Structure 1
Amino acid sequence: MVFRLQALLLHGSLPEEDQDGSVSFGDNRANTEQQLVLIRSRLDQSTEEALDLKRELLRHKQEARHLQAIKDALQQRLAVQEDAVLQLKQELLRCNMAKDQLEGENAELKHKLSERNKLLTEYEVSSFIIYTSMHLSCLLQGEELQLVREALRSLRDSFSGHDPQHHTLDTLEQGVSSLMDRLHSLDTQRRQDRGEFKSPGRRANSTDRDSWPQSSKMAHSHSSPGLDTAVSTKVLYFTDRSLTPFLINIPKRLGEVTLRDFKAAVDRQGSFRYHFKALDPEFGTVKEEVFQDGAVVPGWEGKIVAWVEEDHGERR
């Protein structure tokens, strides 16, 4: 029936095979017209829906074109940003290269500055040694010798604990002590030649001798042979600020030298701990620490071997 109605609507007549039987449908004409109206209404509704779909399709196309335009704009901005990032990377690379170059130049300048400071220090030490060597023979007043002593101590404190310049200062200090001993010996010899003798129990009237520290009044290993070595003890001591040991003589026999005598001979400012090489019956060779000033320091094979170490507040 539906096919016949469609044929009726499209062609205005029923199919030929149904024309003969059209009479049989006479009774149902009213019903068919109602169905035709219903189909037309549905057709109108489908047409409206098709138009709505067309309008929706058109709107979606417009949105698609708008989104495509936005996409193109974003792609263009992305390309511009990529170019900017590439430029920043190139600039960063150049900055890193410049930084490396500056660091290299800085390191080279630091090295040159270190070498210059080293040369300057060596020049100052050499100048001081030359100045001291040239004018030491003219230093006859105790105050001037005291200035030399303080200058040596100040110069030593300006170096680090293991600076090689300590060896130069050690040599200078030993040379000064030796020269003072020689000057004292020559002065004594001149006085003896002139018939001037010191009264018993009275010290020599020599201001330069008395103004120098006690360690310089005692002969070093290369001092003049005018001193009486029979009543003196050779002392070899090490410090933590010099790689070269010091050698002095204390005018006492071995076994009579006390820690007070040793401190007076060393004559160093500050707080120190004193160790001496000794032979222990149980442990053999040891480093014995002496605390009391009146205690006799131990000897080793006819001499005294000691270590003078700075005391940093550690409890004994």
Structure 2
Amino acid sequence: MGAKQMKCLSSSSPSHTPKEEYIIAKSEDSGELVGNHTEQPQSLEDVVKSSATDPYPGPEHVVKEESSTWEEQLCAQQEQLEKEMQETRKMVSRLQALLLHGSLPEDEQTSTLSFGDTASSEQQLILTRSRLDQSMEESLDLKRELLRYKQEARNLQAVKDALQQRMSVQEDSVLQLKQELLRSSMTREELEGQNVELERKLSERNRLLSEYKKELGQKDRLLQQQQTKLDDALRRISESYHRLSGCENNGYSHMMDTSSAVFQHRMGDELQLVRDALRSLRDSFSGHDPQHHTLDTLEQGVASLVDRLHTSDTKKRPERKGSTRSPGRKANHTDRESWPSTSKIAHSHSSPVLSAAASTKVLYYTDRSLTPFLVNIPKRLGDVTLQDFKAAVDRHGSFRYHFKSLDPEFGTVKEEVFQDDAVIPGWEGKIVAWVEEDHGEGR
């Protein structure tokens, strides 16, 4: 019996029958050991029954999975097979532990099976091989778990890398948003600063506008005052002219000459008063004020009016002399030569009333007005000096005088004249000049 058992243990069978026979033979030698191992077939059968009665996919489960795709079915079957393999491995490990130690791994028994001194070395070798197989199986399980854990670690590392990449992208996006927010904040602060500056400029402009309005009101009042003075001067000139006209039939030529001289003197004084008023009014405006054009037009109108009055008086004087002379009294040649000629009547240097017989037209420009001025100088072209031009222009202050002339080498040029007794050059029968204020710059 014992020989047969040892022969069975030495046979290399893939099943666990030699181990079971060895346990049965050992149970015959030791009653206690037999009592323990008689329970093993029962537990082995229970394990086999439990493994046989494990739930497998029934028909109902198969019918439910028919609606899913074949990939899902394959995945589900693979998972089910993996679970079964794990359970089978656990059962094999429990059986090996039961065969080797006489108890299950979950039992707290630490005692190991001890063979008698009569145990042969072949039995110990078989036991060692069984333990080695169990260790190798456990090692394979551990390797599989290690591979699975490595795969999970690789998957987790890939997920971690993907998450880190997404995090870096999100951080870049957040950084870009912060930069845009910073630029927006800087732009907003800059706009706020510009708004503050514009508000300050607007308040400054409003203040200047109010000041300009005040100055304009003052200038309007001054203009009204000067206009009133001008109207009074014109009225006095008109009254003087009417009084002179009332003396036409008095029969005394000497009185007419005297009245004419008085009229010329008063007319020059009145015109000088008007020009002084216009000059003071012009000085009250800025250099580029549009009111300068109005004042220039007014001055030219007054000068033209006085010129027409003088021309009318000059034409009427011979008629008055002829009508007032008695028939029995003839004026001799000496008397006629002693009468004052109209071309030799003295005029004020501020009056533009000039003789048309021997006069020169002067067209001059100023830096305060875009409209040129036209005056007459009672001298022929070529005899007019800078002093005569200054007297005709009648402007106070320091000025520089340029005149249009023809140069043999350069053609048309602007010639500046400095000395008062220098002769002014002409241009096509008249004088064209530019009067500029002298600001003290070096010539």
Structure 1 length normalisation: TM-score? 0.54
Per the alignment, in what secondary structure is the counterpart of residue 170 of structure 1?
A: helix
Q: Which residue of 307, 310, 313 corresponds with 2:437? A: 310
Letter of the structure 1 residue corresponding to residue 235 of structure 2: S
Q: Which residue of 192, 210, 216 corresponds with 2:352? A: 216
Q: Structure 1 residue 239: deviation in Å?
A: 1.4
Q: Aligned residue for 1:82?
A: none
Per the alignment, in what secondary structure is the counterpart of residue 275 of structure 1?
A: strand
The 8 Å contact of residues 162 and 243 in structure 1, kept in 2 or not, is answered as no
- After TM superposition, the structure 1 = structure 2 runs for residues 129-148 of structure 1, keeping only pairs within 5 Å, are 129=227, 132-133=230-231, 135-139=233-237, 140=240, 141=266, 143-148=269-274
Measured against aligned partners, the alpha-carbon deviations of 1:172-223 in whole angstroms (never above 9, x if no partner) come to: 111111111122223333433321898658577xx9x84x5434223xxxxx
Q: Which residue of 423, 431, 441 corresponds with 1:296? A: 423
Q: Structure 1 residue 119: deviation in Å?
A: 5.2
Q: Structure 1 residue 295: deviation in Å?
A: 1.9
Measured against aligned partners, the alpha-carbon deviations of 1:197-256 in whole angstroms (never above 9, x if no partner) come to: 98658577xx9x84x5434223xxxxxxxx535x32211011122222111122222222
Per the alignment, in what secondary structure is the counterpart of residue 308 of structure 1?
A: strand
Letter of the structure 2 residue corresponding to residue 151 of structure 1: A
Q: Aligned residue for 1:182?
A: 308
- After TM superposition, the structure 1 = structure 2 runs for residues 164-183 of structure 1, keeping only pairs within 5 Å, are 164-183=290-309
Q: Which residue of 373, 396, 401 corresponds with 1:274? A: 401
1:124–1:214: structure 2 CA closer, same or farther, 3 Å change rule? closer
Letter of the structure 2 residue corresponding to residue 129 of structure 1: Q
The separation in 1 between residues aligned to 2:223 and 2:336, in whole angstroms, is: 39
Q: Percent identity?
A: 59
Q: Structure 1 residue 107: deviation in Å?
A: 4.9
Letter of the structure 1 residue corresponding to residue 439 of structure 2: H
Q: Structure 1 residue 117: deviation in Å?
A: 3.8
Aligned pairs, how many? Answer: 207
Q: Aligned residue for 1:38?
A: none
Q: Structure 1 residue 279: deviation in Å?
A: 1.7
Gaps of 5+ in 1: 1-96, 219-226
The separation in 2 between residues aligned to 1:156 and 1:109, in whole angstroms, is: 25
Q: Structure 1 residue 120: deviation in Å?
A: 5.1
Root-mean-square deviation (Å): 3.6
The separation in 1 between residues aligned to 2:440 and 2:201, in whole angstroms, is: 42
- After TM superposition, the structure 1 = structure 2 runs for residues 38-187 of structure 1, keeping only pairs within 5 Å, are 107-108=205-206, 110-115=208-213, 117-118=215-216, 121-122=219-220, 124-125=222-223, 128-129=226-227, 132-133=230-231, 135-139=233-237, 140=240, 141=266, 143-187=269-313
Gaps of 5+ in 2: 1-194, 241-265, 325-334
Tell which deviates more after alignment, 166-175 or 306-315. 306-315
Higher alpha-carbon Rg: 2
- After TM superposition, the structure 1 = structure 2 runs for residues 188-199 of structure 1, keeping only pairs within 5 Å, are 188-195=314-321
Which has the higher relative contact order, 1 or 2, with Cα contacts under 8 A spaced 6 or more apart? Answer: 1
Per the alignment, in what secondary structure is the counterpart of residue 314 of structure 2?
A: helix
Q: Aligned residue for 2:47?
A: none
Q: Which residue of 374, 378, 382 corresponds with 1:255? A: 382
Measured against aligned partners, the alpha-carbon deviations of 1:111-160 in whole angstroms (never above 9, x if no partner) come to: 35534543553464356336524641313546554432321111111111
1:120–1:215: structure 2 CA closer, same or farther, 3 Å change rule? same
The 8 Å contact of residues 215 and 264 in structure 1, kept in 2 or not, is answered as no
1:169–1:296: structure 2 CA closer, same or farther, 3 Å change rule? same
The 8 Å contact of residues 233 and 274 in structure 2, kept in 1 or not, is answered as no
